């Protein structure tokens, strides 16, 4: 009898953990990508299917998906915040990554319109890392009601080409509410 109770408790814990995330990956028309779907807040984002690691985190009620490439030297993130302004989320993302680079130069700080005809705020910076290499943060911020969903990519500037550039552009332009 005790064994059945333990199994029931484990099953309930696993189920509640899955419900807490309320997100998942779905097939995309292009096999190089997946759809990442979030229920709360409700959105779809295109993510590369060939990354080394996908880590979902919930920090203080905010969901973040971290996607790592090149032994973790390139990071792509999708996160959502409720009850925050775009400027607050830009500050959060910027401070998180810019502390690793010096001699910062802002290369984008403006509103853009995606291929899906969505307005988004685009913020990008470059600077020099401790290894002497130029690093880059590219980020976009979609706002709907009291929700801000951000997408960010942090990488060496010289790596922003080919597949990584295509992954970024696709993620930004195919985002859907």
Q: Where are the domains of the chain?
A: 53-173
Provide the pLDDT for residue 18. 44
Per DSSP, helices labelled H in 22-118 are 86-98
DSSP bridge pairs for 25:
36
Cα 128 from Cα 102, distance rounded (Å): 5
Rounded CA-CA distance 105/127 in Å is 6
> Strands, DSSP E only, in 17-118?
23-27, 33-39, 42-48, 53-59, 62-69, 74-82, 101-113
Is residue 166's pLDDT more than 90?
Answer: yes
pTM of this structure:
0.84
pLDDT tens digits along 52-71: 999 999 988 888 999 999 99
Q: For the structural domain made of 53-173, what CATH number should be given?
A: 3.40.1000.10
Residue 19 has pLDDT above 80, yes or no: no
pLDDT band with cut points at 50, 70 and 90 for residue 147: very high
**8 A C-beta contact, residue 160 and residue 154:** no
Query: Three-class SS of residue 155?
Result: strand
Provide the CA 73 distance to its chain's centre, in angstroms: 15
């Amino acid at each position: 009898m005790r064994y059945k109770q333990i199994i029931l408790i484990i099953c309930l814990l696993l189920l509640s953990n899955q419900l807490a995330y309320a997100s998942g990956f779905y097939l995309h028309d292009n096999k190089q990508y997946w759809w990442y779907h979030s229920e709360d807040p409700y959105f779809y984002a295109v993510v590369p299917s060939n990354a080394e690691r996908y880590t979902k985190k919930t920090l203080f009620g905010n969901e973040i998906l971290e996607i790592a490439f090149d032994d973790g030297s390139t990071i792509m993130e999708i996160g959502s915040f409720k009850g925050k302004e775009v400027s607050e989320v830009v500050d959060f993302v910027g401070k998180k990554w810019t502390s690793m680079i010096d001699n910062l130069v802002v290369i984008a700080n403006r509103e853009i319109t995606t291929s899906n005809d969505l307005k988004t705020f685009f913020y990008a910076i470059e600077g020099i890392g401790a290894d002497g290499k130029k690093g880059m943060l590219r980020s976009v911020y979609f706002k709907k009601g009291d929700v801000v969903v951000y997408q960010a990519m942090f990488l060496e500037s010289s790596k922003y080409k080919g597949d990584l550039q295509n992954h970024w552009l696709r993620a930004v332009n195919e985002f859907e509410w």
